[in-house]
Amino acid sequence: MTTTLDASGMPARSPLRFLDREHTIARPGYSRWMVPPAALCVHLCIGQAYAFSVFNLPMTKLLGVTQSAPGDWKLTELGWIFSIAMVFLGLSAAVFGRWVEEGGPRRAMFTAGVAWASAFLISALGVYLHNLWIIYLGYGVVGGCALGIGYISPVSTLMKWFPDRPGMATGMAIMGFGGGALIASPFSVWLMSKFASTTDVGVLGAFITLGCVYFVFMMVGSAIVRVPAPGWKPEGYVPPTTATKLMTKNDVFVYQAIKTPQFWLIWIVLFCNTTAGIGVLGQASAMSQEMFPGQITAVAAAGLVGLMSLFNMGGRFSWASLSDFIGRKNTYFVYMVLGFALYVTVPYAGASGNVVLFVLCFLIIVSMYGGGFSTVPAYLRDMFGTRYVGAIHGILLTAWSMAGIAGPVLINYIREYNVTHGVPKAQAYNTTMYIMAGLLVVGFLANLCVRAVDKRHHMKDDKAGLEPARA
């Protein structure tokens, strides 16, 4: 028996044909405002990654239940689950970026949904068998791939639907990634309390439930997403007839883009902004208590962390939306200049005991950290065009992975060094703040160097279109 293959290499009667890009082309009358909730369905689910730490402590008591018993996992071993997931986020976004771009958003969202649900179910098996390697594989590897594919899946589709407001459109989706933890954290704690018993901490039941709930949400997202028909544009929208200085009308092929200095300059900008932000975000609780002993308690510090999560989420939408009006390069200038001023102000706020100033600095910093993520897809679109922006964005996310290592390492080791050399705890973070400010100077200079991409990198207008035009 022979199987007939269609043009995309799929069996002609494959039950998965509904995932193809050609089956997701919107019919006339479809509202583009259906696409942001579709994207949110995916990003709100994968944003759970930021809340994974709520499982860490209960997972150190899987055997002992009330307290850790011999054979129970240690926090240091559990910390690797999140780290592996972050590494695979960057790797999968880079490796599968072109596949996501060419196959369309529905196939990518569907794949991410299956992988994300599988990550929880495999991890549940790991909990059941008390085998940490299964969880490394489940949440770390499979979940990490779901994160990478899911994160980039709606980006270029949103920008095609909103050519008039690309920053706002991607800001809405990427805001969901920040908001996912706000939902997942209390929901996971509630689930564990429901499944907990005298012999169970409730992690197993919580994992299985989360896997099922996230699967449903992500399938709904993949079902309602559509790509615009070729040539579609919003009513009343007149595309610019000529390319502006920093906004191309041409496309650059994904592997050609990484040969341009612009890609690496934006990589440095994102890396600097993210490193500085992660360093503060991860240590905010400890830092605030040590800088203001007696003024900020552990409970108040937890409140600060919650407030920072809200600003992280809100910054993703508001800064990216603002970038539609002031331009991407200028928005990053604001991140770098304002960020520099805020980082050097933090030690002053600590020395003068000004809690309000300290909190304000942190909230604005963390909003720009979020804004850095949500503004970058539109920056790439301005530089390299829409066609491969999702794939290029995927490769750029390696900057995030690198920053995820550099940020916490910088802040932890420098604090440790200062404390062991007799610096009072209240001042132990000052050097780090100045180093973060220095990083933003590097980011500022990199952003300053960004110019329009040379036309020799642009794709030819032929149907294959994969080769750059000869100069």
Partner 1 sequence: MHNARTVKTTPLQLALAWSFAGIPLLAGVIQTLFNAMKLFQ
Q: CA gyration radius for the chain?
A: 23
Query: Which C-beta is closer to partner 1: that of 228 or that of 279?
Result: 228
User: Distance (Å, rounded) from C-alpha 150 to C-alpha 183?
Assistant: 18
Between residues 309 and 398, which has the closer beta carbon with respect to partner 1? 309
Residues 440/338, Cβ–Cβ less than 8 Å: no
List, as one string, the DSSP characters of 264-329: HHHHHHHHHHHHHHHHHHHHHHHHHHHHSTTTS-HHHHHHHHHHHHHHHHHHHHHHHHHHHHH-HH
Among 4, 31, 198, 199, binds partner 1 (CB under 8 A): 31
Give, as ranges, the residues between 281 and 300 that touch partner 1 (CB under 8 A): 296, 299-300
Distance CA 430, CA 428 (A): 6
Of 171, 179, 279, 394, which one interacts with partner 1 (CB under 8 A)?
179
Indicate which single residue of 1, 15, 27, 462 sits in contact with partner 1 (rule: CB under 8 A). 27
12 binds partner 1 (CB under 8 A): no
Asked if 304 and 296 touch (Cβ cutoff 8 Å), the reply is yes
- Name the one range near partner 1 by CB under 8 A: 157-165, 177-185, 276-284, 456-464: 177-185
Q: Give the shortest CB-44-to-partner 1 separation in angstroms.
A: 6
Q: State in angstroms the smallest separation of the CB of 344 from partner 1.
A: 24
Report d(CA 383, CA 454) in Å as an integer.
Answer: 10
- Least Cα distance to 166 among 254, 245, 239 occurs for 239
Least distance from C-beta 172 to partner 1, angstroms? Answer: 10
The Cα angle at residue 273 between residues 431 and 366, in degrees rounded to 5? 85
Per-residue x/- track, 328-367, partner 1 (CB under 8 A): -------------------------------x--------
- Work out which of 1, 2, 9, 29 binds partner 1, going by CB under 8 A: 29
176 belongs to the binding site for partner 1 (CB under 8 A): yes
Task: Provide, rounded to whole angstroms, the least separation between the CB of residue 381 and partner 1.
Answer: 23
Phi, psi torsion values for 165, nearest 5 degrees: -140, 60
Q: Is 204 in the site for partner 1 (CB under 8 A)?
A: no
Q: Cβ of residue 104: shortest distance to partner 1, in angstroms?
A: 12
Give the per-residue contact string, 218-237, with partner 1 (x = CB under 8 A; - = no).
--x---x----x--------
* Residue 453, Ramachandran bin (φ over 0: left; ψ between -120 and 50: alpha; else beta): beta
Contact 53, 189 (CB under 8 A): no
Q: How far is CA 417 from CA 39, 249, 425, 426, 428, in A?
A: 43, 50, 11, 14, 9
In angstroms, give the least distance from the CB of 428 to partner 1.
22
Task: Please provide residue 16's backbone torsions phi and psi, each rounded to the nearest 5 degrees.
Answer: -95, 10
Binding residues (CB under 8 A) for partner 1: these are 22, 25, 27-31, 33-34, 37-38, 40-41, 44, 176, 179, 182-187, 217, 220, 224, 229, 296, 299-304, 306-307, 309-310, 313, 359
